[in-house]
């Protein structure tokens, strides 16, 4: 019952974003909306979106709990897979920013670093959108 209403709300939000921002940025936000709904439908509790570290270390697209594990989710969105899966755009520098931001979030939340995980959600915006959830993609490094 709520599925169609969520989709309608997401479509209206996306249409509004297209008028106000660059199309790539609007597509990225739409991908985050879709990833958020996708994870929720699988029992993951999203507690933060677009969380920015005060230190300037970076941004976390989604922060969620799956059971007793704190999950940092990077959402990568593309219009097509013409140049490969969206997650191929995550390089060493982006990974380092994610680690630093995640470390700050976990410290502020009082969560032991051994209880965290890094996931990626790939969103390809064709009709219907294709969503792939990659779990535990980055090793949890020791202290940075």
Domains and CATH numbers, the chain: 2-134 (3.40.1350.10)
List per-block mean pLDDT (blocks of 10 residues) for the chain, which spans 144 residues: 64 60 71 94 96 89 97 93 84 91 95 95 91 90 52
Neighbours of 40 (CB within 10 A): 13
pLDDT for the residue 109? 96
pTM (2 d.p.): 0.82
Strands 45-52 and 130-134: unpaired
With CA atoms as reference, report the closest residue to 128 among 2, 3, 1: 3
Category of 56 on φ-ψ map: left (φ > 0), alpha (ψ -120 to 50) or beta: left
Neighbouring residues of 18: CB distance < 8 A, sequence distance ≥ 6: 26
């Amino acid at each position: 019952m709520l599925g169609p209403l969520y989709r309608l709300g997401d479509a209206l939000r996306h249409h509004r974003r297209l008028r106000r921002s660059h199309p790539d940025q609007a597509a990225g936000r739409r991908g985050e909306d879709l990833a958020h709904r996708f994870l929720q439908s699988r029992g993951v509790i999203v507690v933060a979106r677009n969380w920015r570290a005060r230190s300037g270390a970076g941004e976390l697209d989604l922060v969620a709990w799956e059971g007793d594990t704190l999950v940092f989710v990077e959402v990568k969105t593309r219009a097509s897979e013409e140049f490969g899966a969206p997650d191929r755009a995550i390089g060493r520098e982006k990974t380092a920013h994610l680690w630093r931001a995640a470390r700050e979030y976990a410290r502020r939340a009082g969560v032991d670093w051994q209880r965290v995980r890094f996931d990626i959600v790939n969103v390809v915006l064709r009709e219907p959108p294709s969503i792939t959830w990659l779990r535990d993609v980055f090793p949890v490094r020791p202290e940075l």
